[in-house]
């Protein structure tokens, strides 16, 4: 179980060959975090400097676009936000957010 913020990909629901992930405390501070693909582990921890921030901003971009992506943003292994898109999606999420629904 990862401590702090992490993303868990719903591998069975992903059509995209890869997903670019960006992270920051808001959209103005975003930086590219990683490019994930289906051969990688389903759970990916955020960079250490964002691991325990109270609010985090995450964006996912499907590669290629028009292909489904599904993942959950978690804090201390508790789902906080579900992402499901076929182009891109971004959200700012707080550690205090009530548990979100996660499909994987």
64-104 pLDDT, tens per residue?
Answer: 999 999 999 999 999 999 999 999 999 999 998 877 778 77
Res 7: pLDDT: 96
The answer to whether the beta carbons of residues 72 and 103 sit under 8 Å apart is yes
Q: What is the pLDDT of residues 12-55, one digit of tens each?
A: 899 999 999 999 999 899 999 999 999 999 999 999 999 999 99
C-alpha distances in Å from residue 87, one per residue of 67, 68, 69, 70, 78? 7, 8, 8, 11, 25
Using the structure block, give the residue that is written with the tokens 């490019």.
Answer: 35
Q: Is the pLDDT of residue 1 over 70?
A: no
Q: What is the pLDDT of residue 70?
A: 96
């Amino acid at each position: 179980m990862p401590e702090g913020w992490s993303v868990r990909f719903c591998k069975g629901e992903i059509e995209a060959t890869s997903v670019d992930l960006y992270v920051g405390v808001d959209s103005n501070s975003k930086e590219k975090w990683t490019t994930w693909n289906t051969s990688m582990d389903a759970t990916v921890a955020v960079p250490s400097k964002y691991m325990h921030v109270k609010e985090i901003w995450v964006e996912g971009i499907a590669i290629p676009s028009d292909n489904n992506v599904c993942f959950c943003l978690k804090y201390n292994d508790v789902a906080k936000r579900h992402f499901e898109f076929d182009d891109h999606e971004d959200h700012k999420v707080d550690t205090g957010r009530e548990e979100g629904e996660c499909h994987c």
